[in-house]
């Protein structure tokens, strides 16, 4: 990862990470929280308020699944954290006026699957190094900042219907 070393990805759910609220959500901004590991502040502030799950990806990287605890418009933010670099990647599932619950997380060594909004099973995979991000390649209802590279691949089965996190 950047230094010529190959990092073995073997994902596993962990309970050593938690969040400490920095500020509440407003009409124009998502809530923000600081990430703690084993109860110690890391100095890394992320969007979101409720840590739904944390997955250790490799020796330095974690996937965080975060919500704002908004019953009327819940979106799921997925963050790839590198404790030496901060937030490496961010993507969001959901759209305005739609709500979902993060459920049924299943973690395998190379991927994680879960339900969020309707009957869709979402699957995420993290690559060791960045890959080319093609426009419009994410399932309906997924948004992420513009750019040419990504670490997180996401798929949905069945594809979300309009109104179930569609754009």
pLDDT tens sequence across 51-73: 999 999 999 999 999 998 876 67
Percent residues over pLDDT 90 in the chain:
64
Tokens 């490496």 identify what position?
Answer: 88
The count of other CB atoms within 10 Å of the CB of residue 80 is 21
Which pTM value belongs to this model?
0.88
Mean pLDDT of 123-140: 91
- CA atoms of 76 and 99, how far apart (whole Å): 9
Query: How do the domains of the chain map onto residue ranges?
Result: 12-157
pLDDT exceeds 90 at position 29: no
Predicted local distance difference test score (pLDDT) of residue 80: 98
Torsion of CA 6, 12, 154, 35, to 10 degrees: -90
Q: Express each pLDDT in 71-115 by its tens digit.
A: 667 789 999 999 899 999 999 998 776 778 899 999 999 999 999
């Amino acid at each position: 990862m950047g230094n010529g070393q190959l990092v073995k990805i073997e994902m596993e759910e962990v309970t050593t990470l938690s969040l400490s609220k920095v500020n509440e959500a407003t009409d124009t901004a998502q809530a923000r929280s600081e990430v703690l590991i084993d109860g110690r502040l890391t100095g890394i502030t992320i969007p979101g308020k409720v840590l739904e799950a944390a997955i250790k990806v490799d020796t330095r990287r974690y996937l965080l699944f975060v919500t704002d605890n908004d019953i009327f418009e819940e979106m799921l933010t997925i963050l790839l954290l590198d404790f030496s670099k901060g937030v490496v990647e961010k993507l969001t599932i959901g759209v305005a006026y739609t709500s979902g619950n993060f459920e049924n997380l299943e973690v395998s060594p190379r991927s994680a699957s879960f339900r969020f909004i309707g009957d869709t099973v979402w699957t995420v995979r993290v690559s060791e190094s960045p890959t080319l991000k093609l426009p419009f390649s994410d399932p309906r209802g997924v948004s992420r900042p513009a750019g040419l590279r990504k670490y997180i691949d996401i798929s949905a089965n069945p594809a979300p219907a309009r109104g179930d996190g569609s754009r």
